[in-house]
Amino acid sequence: MTAASAPASTGAAEQLRASLRRAGPIAVAGVVANGANVAVTVVIAHLMSTRAYGSLTELIALFVGLSMPGSALLVAVVRRVAAWELAGAHDRVGPWIMRVRRRGALALIGWSVIAIAIRQPLADALHLPHADGVAEVLIAGGGWALLSIERGLVQAGHDYRALARNLVVEGGVRTLLTVALVGAGLGIEGAAIALVVAMAASIADARRSVAAGARLPAAASDASDASDAFGDGALPGRRHLTLDLATALAALGLLAILQNMDVIAVGRQAPDRVGAYGAISVACKAVVFGATVLSGYLLPEAVARFNRGGHALRQLAAALGLAAVPVAVLVALATGAPRLLLRVAFGPDKVGAAPAFATLALAMAGLAVSVLCTHYLLGIGRRAVVAVLAVAAAVLGVVLAAAGGHPIDTARAELALQGGLAVVLGAMVISARPVPRSAVLDPVA
């Protein structure tokens, strides 16, 4: 190493450590929330029959499917606030977000009416034994959209401690209430009600953070230059927001499909196996949850740095490093003692899919990488990610149909698809080149 390269290497290492410190609170909160989720999963697995637990797993998959598109609002909020900030138009954020909140509340009321009306037809379509909890899960999915707006504001202010606290609030309320209601005999309905209440509590906490100090971005040091570059007519408007939202909606919706298609496929093709497969699915997808949590750090960092002509690869490396820890633990447990782990965690009647446990864990590790890379690409305005995810979802549908609901074949199909997708998206991130700021913030870039 030359004398000139030594300071550069030291600086890079220090920047990576700084990224790890900033992402640390979110990672810890994710571990706490995920641990609470695992704990409640273990408890209710012992309180429910195999079929009831399988039904709950399908409803959870439905909620995840609804929450991923809702998270598109978060991406759009972060990108819009960053664009206004860079253009020196910070004063536009407050009035805009008030309008979004009002419209979101009205939309949730309308969605709740629809959810109640379609709960039975949807339960029949999913081959559920009854409609308990269906409406509540749909309403909670709508509530997630409102929560995403508030978290987008917190992330746009880079207030990661407030975001970490909000994750703990959500996980804590959901855990305590789920155990209480399921333990009281409300079953699936109780778990769904707990989900709705957790959304409401998280929205209230996030709004308090925004009002009390989860700052929106302060004006950039080069705001005057940015304002001159954009001009009033070039400031991001409704069309920009719509395109950002549509792109994120498509991408995150496809991620939700990629995450949950296996459970739905097994439920439809082999209903008698969905309970056992659901057990390994819930355990493995915890790592995807961790990646989604860490994207709360990566997304605003990617937006901010790319808007200023840089890259956030160190921040991505930090997020991947933190995500790798639970992946390594899960793969080790799934390889070394899969039946013991499933028996202790979910009960002796849910160990049938143990041979597929380690394979599915590796597959979900690949999906975790894809989640982080997708948020990075959305942050820098690369909409080609939607086409890649769409092709992957179509291919996954074909290979899962060929698996016929067999756990091992399903897990192998997942591993092949998710591993390949992670490689492709990683290559897209590395090959992305920063462009002039006006092009980054223009959705047609």
Burial bucket for residue 308 (CB in 10 Å: 0-12, 13-18, 19+): middle
Query: CA dist 130 to 127, 313, 365, 395, Å?
Result: 9, 47, 33, 32
pLDDT at 438 over 50: no
Note the pLDDT of residue 12. Answer: 58
Note the pLDDT of residue 435. Answer: 57
Note the pLDDT of residue 13. Answer: 65
Q: Per the structure block, which two tokens stand in for 378?
A: 């959305």
Note the pLDDT of residue 393. Answer: 95
Note the pLDDT of residue 203. Answer: 95
Structural Rg of the chain based on CA atoms: 22
Map tokens 């039904």 to a residue.
55
pLDDT at 145 over 70: yes
- Calpha distance 31→326 (Å, rounded): 9
- Calpha distance 97→219 (Å, rounded): 18
The domains of the chain are located at 14-441
Residues 6+ apart with CB under 8 A from 349: 50, 275, 276
List the alpha helices (DSSP H) in 216-312.
Answer: 223-230, 238-269, 274-284, 286-307
pLDDT at 156 over 60: yes
DSSP 8-state symbol, 91: G
pLDDT bin (cut points 50, 70, 90) of residue 328 is: very high
Q: What's 31-82 look like in SS3?
A: HHHHHHHHHHHHHHHHHCCHHHHHHHHHHHHHHHHHHHHHHHHHHHHHHHHH
pLDDT at 190 over 50: yes
Tell me if 191 sits within 8 A of 182, measured CB to CB: yes
pLDDT at 425 over 90: yes
CA dihedral 353, 357, 359, 362 (to 10 degrees): 150
pLDDT bin (cut points 50, 70, 90) of residue 439 is: very low
Concatenate the DSSP letters of all residues of 335-369 into one string. HH-HHHHHHHHH-GGG-TTGGGHHHHHHHHHHHHH
**In whole numbers, what is the pLDDT of the chain averaged over residues?**
80
Q: Per the structure block, which two tokens stand in for 226?
A: 């940015």
pLDDT at 40 over 90: no
Note the pLDDT of residue 234. Answer: 42
pLDDT bin (cut points 50, 70, 90) of residue 331 is: very high
Note the pLDDT of residue 440. Answer: 42
Q: Per the structure block, which two tokens stand in for 189?
A: 């309905």
Q: Which of 41-55, 304-318, 367-381 has the highest mean pLDDT?
A: 367-381
Note the pLDDT of residue 94. Answer: 78
- Calpha distance 371→387 (Å, rounded): 15
Helix, strand or coil for residue 188?
helix
- Calpha distance 381→375 (Å, rounded): 10
Rounded (to 5) percent helix, strand, coil in the chain: 85, 0, 15
Q: For residues 215-225, give the mean pLDDT.
A: 39
Burial bucket for residue 322 (CB in 10 Å: 0-12, 13-18, 19+): buried
Query: CA dist 442 to 220, 223, 245, 437, Å?
Result: 19, 17, 13, 9
Share of the chain above pLDDT 70, in %: 82
End-to-end C-alpha distance for the chain, whole angstroms: 39
pTM of the model: 0.75
Q: Is the dihedral of CA 250, 252, 258, 264 positive or negative?
A: negative
- Given its phi and psi angles, is residue 217 left (phi above 0), alpha (psi -120 to 50 degrees) or beta? beta
Note the pLDDT of residue 10. Answer: 58
Q: Which of 20-34, 101-115, 252-266, 309-323 has the highest mean pLDDT?
A: 101-115
DSSP 8-state symbol, 433: -
Note the pLDDT of residue 183. Answer: 81
CA-closest candidate to residue 68, choices 357, 322, 295: 295
